[in-house]
Amino acid sequence: EAGVTQSPTHLIKTRGQQATLRCSPISGHTSVYWYQQALGLGLQFLLWYDEGEERNRGNFPPRFSGRQFPNYSSELNVNALELEDSALYLCASTLWERGADTQYFGPGTRLTVL
Amino acid sequence: KQEVTQIPAALSVPEGENLVLNCSFTDSAIYNLQWFRQDPGKGLTSLLLIQSSQREQTSGRLNASLDKSSGRSTLYIAASQPGDSATYLCAVRDTDKLIFGTGTRLQVFP
């Protein structure tokens, strides 16, 4: 069974540009989570999508947005990039069952903002 | 607000030692607690998940315990190997997201 996949592996942008990151969940999983792992800040929850809807978002500015497609894959968009957006962005998928689920993580996208 | 802390932040041990990694959380209202392993620059690998109603879980040389009332979990690694070198993260699940600890960076040398 294929795991969670993310693309691209690495992304280099300049300040002010937009970045688009993609995630494909495990087959059958309907929930996708996005997390940011910035140096020195640990892993922080960004967004949660389930059944095509945004269910919750973490303490991040509106520049961070995304969507979930009918096939449950997801896209994270970061507008007006700032230097501090440089981080490893991790996607996780799960079949949400009242918190009884395990979240399975992809390999991540390393975003570097110059 | 839930806060998750891991002690120690870093650990270096010789091969063969039994290890205990600690995780503490401030709010006992959790759905579950999950331990992950992260290799440098990589994603997370799930090691063990303990539901809030459970006390422990075991997988191979790994054993994780959960004491909700005291807000603590421990990950026990038996007979450590160089391949166990990685960062270990615990995460508690509230209603709809994981809240991660700060991690323990483990190095096992031959």
Q: Tell me whether residues A88 and B41 touch, CB distance under 8 A.
A: yes
Question: How far is Cα of residue B40 from the mean position of the Cα atoms in its chain?
Answer: 17
- The whole-angstrom separation of Cα A64 and Cα A19 is 10
- The whole-angstrom separation of Cα A104 and Cα B36 is 10
Is any Cβ of chain A less than 8 angstroms from the Cβ of B93?
yes
pLDDT band at A94 (very low <50, low <70, confident <90, very high): confident
Q: Which residue of B has its CA nearest to A34?
A: B97
Q: Which residue of A has its CA nearest to B97?
A: A45
Closest partner residue to B34 (CB to CB) among A33, A102, A110 is A102
pLDDT tens column, B4-47: 999 999 999 999 999 999 999 999 999 899 999 999 888 899 99
| Torsion sign (Cα): B17, B88, A107, B93 | positive
| Torsion sign (Cα): B41, A68, A75, A82 | negative
Q: Residues near A7 by Cβ (< 8 Å), separated by ≥ 6?
A: A21, A22, A109
Q: Which residue has the tokens 């507008």?
A: A79
Measure A56 CA to nearest chain B CA, in Å.
8
Q: Tell me whether residues B93 and A99 touch, CB distance under 8 A.
A: yes
Measure A16 CA to nearest chain B CA, in Å.
25
Q: What is the mean pLDDT of chain A?
A: 92
Q: How is residue B9 annotated by DSSP?
A: S
Angstrom CA distances, B51 to A11, A25, A92, A106, stand at 37, 23, 19, 23
pLDDT tens column, A58-89: 999 999 999 999 999 999 999 999 999 999 99
- The whole-angstrom separation of Cα B93 and Cα A68 is 22
**In A, which residues are within 8 Å of B95 by CB distance?**
99
Does residue A81 sit in helix, strand or coil?
coil
**In B, which residues are within 8 Å of A45 by CB distance?**
97-99
**In A, which residues are within 8 Å of B41 by CB distance?**
88, 108, 110
Q: Which residue of A has its CA nearest to B30?
A: A99
Q: Tell me whether residues A107 and B42 touch, CB distance under 8 A.
A: yes
- The whole-angstrom separation of Cα B34 and Cα B100 is 9
The answer, yes or no, to whether residue A98 has pLDDT greater than 70, is no
